[in-house]
């Protein structure tokens, strides 16, 4: 039986409703989809549940709204609880707007942090996965400034992401993990000329992972690890900061990229793009990332033990 996947609408002032409507007929190839969102934004033939009490009547397409932020949060929390209760097999999220969340008084920076908090995850990572490469990138630090991210890169945090990649890659692609670890500094610091995080933090984490039996090497300069001759050696890469992983994966795969949260008690994938307020409501949004996210979520749901 195909898994039951909950598709959260995200910020209803963005392109979430549009890509759901476009993708809807194709989603049945992979799952039993149910939308958690605003039925008024969708055709009556699309199964939609709205557990939020937020008043969305004044929400304008393409504009930040506290009501839309509150509804997006309510929809996500409901979907999480349904999965934790065993009434659904996974969640696929459409984009929310971080300013909308904050306008509603919700201080979480994004989906990943809400999911980790509500599921009680002690170890988690945001991944970008591309089936065609195939390659999965884990981010040691995520939604924070670069200034605050550097002190958060520790032996433990690097090792944690290596372990999470090691555990989830076989579920994603059906093969053992082969992991490369990216450097933080230019040229992997060139013998500590440009910092010492590689020798002091990243290399020791890699050595600990090897002792645990993980197939991993690094650190490798971030501007080199994604080049074809290096990339071919790996199906997983640990990147130290958000943009080191995101820029490379989006250039390589574009809309093929899927956001996956590793380390949760439940399955969650997401589109790898934002709310696109600038094109919302124009009928031109691309639904391919949502379809890819549903495909990966269905695979994980089928391979993850209950």
Domain ranges of the chain: 1-121+264-306, 125-263
pLDDT score, position 143: 82
* Helices 155-173 and 288-303, packing angle to 10 deg: 90
The listed CATH number (1.25.50.10, 2.40.50.180, 3.20.20.70, 3.40.718.10) that belongs to domain 1-121+264-306 = 3.40.718.10
pLDDT score, position 142: 87
Bridge partners, residue 195, by sequence: none
Mean pLDDT by 10 residues, the chain (306 residues): 97 97 97 97 94 96 96 98 98 95 92 94 91 95 92 97 96 96 95 94 98 98 94 96 94 88 96 94 94 97 69
pLDDT score, position 264: 95
What separation in angstroms does the CA of 222 have from each of 104, 185, 197, 202? 37, 8, 13, 13
* Helices 66-84 and 111-119, packing angle to 10 deg: 40
pLDDT score, position 6: 98
Q: What is the pTM of this model?
A: 0.91
Burial 14-30 (b: 16+ CB within 10 A, else e): bbbbbbbbbbbeebeeb
* Helices 203-211 and 155-173, packing angle to 10 deg: 50
Q: Are 139 and 184 in contact (CB under 8 A)?
A: no
pLDDT score, position 306: 43
Is 3.40.50.2300 the CATH number for 125-263?
no
pLDDT score, position 304: 60
What is d(CA 61, CA 9) in angstroms, rounded to the nearest whole number? Answer: 14
């Amino acid at each position: 039986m195909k898994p039951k996947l909950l598709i959260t609408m995200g910020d209803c002032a963005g392109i979430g409703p549009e890509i759901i409507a476009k993708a809807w007929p194709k989603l049945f190839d992979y799952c039993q989809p149910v939308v958690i969102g605003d039925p008024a934004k969708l055709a009556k033939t699309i199964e939609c549940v709205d557990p939020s009490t937020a008043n969305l009547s004044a929400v304008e397409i393409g504009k930040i709204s506290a009501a839309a932020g509150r509804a997006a949060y309510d929809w996500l929390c409901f979907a999480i609880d349904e999965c934790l209760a065993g009434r659904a097999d996974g969640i696929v999220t459409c984009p929310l707007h971080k300013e909308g969340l904050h306008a509603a008084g919700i201080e979480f920076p994004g989906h990943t942090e809400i999911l980790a908090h509500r599921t009680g995850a002690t170890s988690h990572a945001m991944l970008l996965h591309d089936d065609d490469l195939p390659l999965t990138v884990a981010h040691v630090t995520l939604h924070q400034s670069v200034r605050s991210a550097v002190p958060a890169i520790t032996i433990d945090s690097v090792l944690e992401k290596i372990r999470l990649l090691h555990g989830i890659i076989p579920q994603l692609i059906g093969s053992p993990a082969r992991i490369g670890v990216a450097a933080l500094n230019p040229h992997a610091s060139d013998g500590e000329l440009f910092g010492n995080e590689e020798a002091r933090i990243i290399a020791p984490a890699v050595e600990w992972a090897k002792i645990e039996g993980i197939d991993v090497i690094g650190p490798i300069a971030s501007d080199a690890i994604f080049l074809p001759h290096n990339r071919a050696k790996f199906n997983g890469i640990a990147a130290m900061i958000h943009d080191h992983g995101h820029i490379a994966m989006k250039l390589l795969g574009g809309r093929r990229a899927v956001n996956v949260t590793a380390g949760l008690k439940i399955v969650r994938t997401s589109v790898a793009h934002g709310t696109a307020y600038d094109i919302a409501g124009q009928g031109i949004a691309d639904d391919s990332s949502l379809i890819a996210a549903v495909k990966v979520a269905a695979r994980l749901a089928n391979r993850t033990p209950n």
